[in-house]
Amino acid sequence: MRPTGAFPSIRMRRMRRDDFSRRLMREHVLTADDLIYPVFVLDGSARSEAVPSMPGVERVSIDRLLKVAEEAVALGVPALALFPVIDAAGKTEGAEEAWNPDGLVPRTVQALKARFPELGVIT
């Protein structure tokens, strides 16, 4: 059987010919809008300490977290995920600190939302 049309000699690649059409048709695009910035929060002020198992990552106090959040907002990152670091004295079997309205997480969320109301905060 003989092929009809010009298929073997002409392959229709109109979707891939130009850069703009390749960008329009691509399947996946990753931008800053897709990112969530994870942060480890400590109690206190003017504190930061390295996380030994994660080189380049620090636990920071709320005042220093605001500077980190400012950089994230400037880069277009839409949300921060908070990972609180609670002192051993604050940890109980019933997790009472989780229900404390003046605890680390509520204070952190209040500080972030007061300064960056458009920033998403994931707890």
Look up the pTM and report it. Answer: 0.76
Mean pLDDT, rounded, for 7-21: 70
* DSSP string for 45-75: SS-EEE-TTSTT-EEEEHHHHHHHHHHHHHH
Question: How far is residue 4 from each of residues 10, 12, 13, measured CA to CA in Å?
Answer: 12, 15, 18
Element (DSSP H or E) covering residue 33? none
Q: Which residues pair with 49 in a beta bridge?
A: 59
pLDDT recorded at residue 3:
61
Question: Sorting pLDDT into bands at 50, 70 and 90, what band is 18?
Answer: confident
Cα distance from N-terminal residue to C-terminal residue, the chain: 65
Q: What pLDDT is recorded for position 65?
A: 98
